[in-house]
Amino acid sequence: MDLTNLNSKDRKQRRRGSSIDLSTMVYGKVPPQAKDLEEAVLGAVMLEKSAFDVVVEILKPECFYVDAHQRIYRSMQSLQQKSQPIDILTVVEELRSKEELEMVGGPYYVTRLTNSVVSSANIEAHSKIILQKFIQRELIRISGEIIGDAYEDSADVFDLLDEAEAKLFEITNNHMKKNYDSIDTVLVQTVQRIEDMRHRTEDITGVPSGFPSLDKVTYGWQNSDLIILAARPAVGKTAFALNLARNAALSSTRPTPIVFFSLEMSSAQLVTRILSAESEVWLEKISRGKMEDYEMKQLYAKGIQRLAQAPIFIDDTAALNVFELRAKCRRLKTKHNIGLIIIDYLQLMSGAGNGKNTNREQEISTISRNLKMLAKELMTPIIALSQLSRAVETRKDGNKMPQLSDLRESGAIEQDADMVMFIYRPEYYDITSNEMGESNKGETHVRIAKHRNGSLETIRLKAQLHIQKFVEFEEDDFSGLGMGGGNWKPVPDGGGGSGAGAGGDDGAKLYIQAGSKMNDMPFGDDDEAPF
């Protein structure tokens, strides 16, 4: 067939349609197979009542090389789903009802499968050999597709690498499943982990968040956990997530390599925000390049030099699907031992891309389920940002604190997550004072609404969005002192002891800023930046 007149997509499909027989056409070899063992396994299932329970954990219909054997095995699966016995007569009737009996060779062939079987004693070993042959055939098939795509001049080599890795991982994930463990084995591992935690000098057992009040509840982000961080638009999800990433990577006690997947913002925009938080120079000034010399020095000294060595990896691929994400995370885990994965944000991701008849809710459910599986497989915490529905805005009781039912597009997010956190800022809803009439400028509530392994609490932080930073909330926080930036040092003060930083051996202290002119700006630290 002449392929020169076909477009790239058609040529790829033509190649893939014939790639199954690549080993026969190119190398002159028969694909790996074990027909005798396939017959033995199917025959043993029809003779022994409990044999199918062993086989079904190892084999799928496509694992059989002979098409007739695939049809017979599917009929056995159908019988099991109907809670009917599996024997020669029931299998024959099931095949007849599906009009497939003659396709497999009739009743004679089904009966013949049991003639050479003595018992099902070795059925597990036989099933594993059949699986091995299937995996070999799959590797040949995938290799043929990769070879065909590699010859295509218009193919992107990095897309080919991602696609090849995703296909190989799919084989491992679908057919190399972990077996169960006996309790004595798990007990040894559990006791060892308990002993390790008993001898720790710190309470944090996972990746630190950088906020002591939050770490007291979570003990750090735990391995294999899926954490959902949700809020309404413009509340500060990305800023808070970047704070978590920066705090984990720059932790003095446990620096952790992290990867930040941004489906909404570019890597340059994210780095600009991180620089603002680390150097405490206004984000607006950095974005516009309107900085004084002292601010540029502050940016280099406190931001660039410190962040240059931070183990932070940023991927700003737009419309990332769950399979590409999984492939990238596996590579980063192997190469850099990634300890935290952050995704901004969940609703911008796409599923497998082949579900034409699935709605968005089902797609989000699939993505959420795959993220939980990925966290468990890599033994790495995943923080996924999520949008909230408009229900929180239309609530008539005046309570704007988000609830689990406000999670947008899918209840599966709530089901799959080990922890769900909501960010709530009263001033977002024009609530500028608390019950006592005091200003709550910057006050931020991080509400833990679901915690599979801990308590449900609300943590109070203070948002300094002009520098994209969150800090611990202090009841006696004096925002008028302008504590948001610069290098601060205490000096003796003969006045009263009510100033910020009062106490200590020297009595009351007043903090002044050294080497910074941020207070000379025409606006105060509490003013909001327009982003």
- Measured at the CA of 183, the angle between CA 177 and CA 188, to 5 degrees, comes to 100
As given in the structure block, the two tokens for residue 5 are 């007149």
| 40 vs 53: CA distance, rounded Å | 16
DSSP string, 129-193: HHHHHHHHHHHHHHHHHHHHHHT-TTS-HHHHHHHHHHHHHHHHHHHSPPPP--HHHHHHHHHHH
Whether a cis peptide bond, with omega within 30° of 0, leads into 345 is yes
- At 48 the pLDDT is 84
Can you give the pTM of this predicted structure? 0.58
Q: In terms of Cα–Cα distance, which of 429, 432, 387 is closest to 406?
A: 387
pLDDT for 493: 38
Q: Quote the tokens at residue 258.
A: 């992290």
pLDDT along the chain (531 residues), means of 10: 47 47 57 89 86 82 90 89 85 91 89 80 87 90 86 78 76 63 73 76 79 86 88 85 88 85 85 84 82 82 81 83 79 85 84 58 81 87 86 71 74 82 82 73 85 85 84 61 38 36 36 36 41 40
CB contact at 8 A, 325 and 343: yes
**d(Cα 529, Cα 239) in Å, to the nearest integer?**
13
Of 458, 401, 389, residue with least CA distance to 233: 389
Q: How confident is the model at residue 305, as a pLDDT?
A: 79
- pLDDT at residue 346 in the model: 80
Fold of 206-472: Rossmann fold (3.40.50)
pLDDT of residue 27: 56
Q: How far apart are CA 409 and CA 347, in angstroms?
A: 8
The span from the CA of 78 to the CA of 285, in Å, is 66
Q: What is the pLDDT of residue 408?
A: 67
d(C-alpha 116, C-alpha 373), whole Å? 41
What does the radius of gyration of the chain's CA atoms come to, in whole angstroms? Answer: 30
What is the residue whose two structure tokens read 């720790």? 200
* Residue 264: both structure tokens together: 């909404």
Q: Are 247 and 439 in contact (CB under 8 A)?
A: no
CATH of 23-174, one of 1.10.860.10, 3.90.550.10, 1.20.1530.20, 3.40.50.2300: 1.10.860.10
Residue closest to 387 by CA, chosen among 335, 440, 423: 423
What local confidence, expressed as pLDDT, does residue 57 receive?
78
Using DSSP's 3-state secondary structure scheme, residue 358 falls into coil
Those residues whose C-beta lies under 8 Å from the C-beta of residue 155, and which sit 6 or more positions away, are 8, 149
- Listed by start position, the domains of the chain span 23-174, 206-472
- Cα–Cα dist 74/56, whole Å: 11
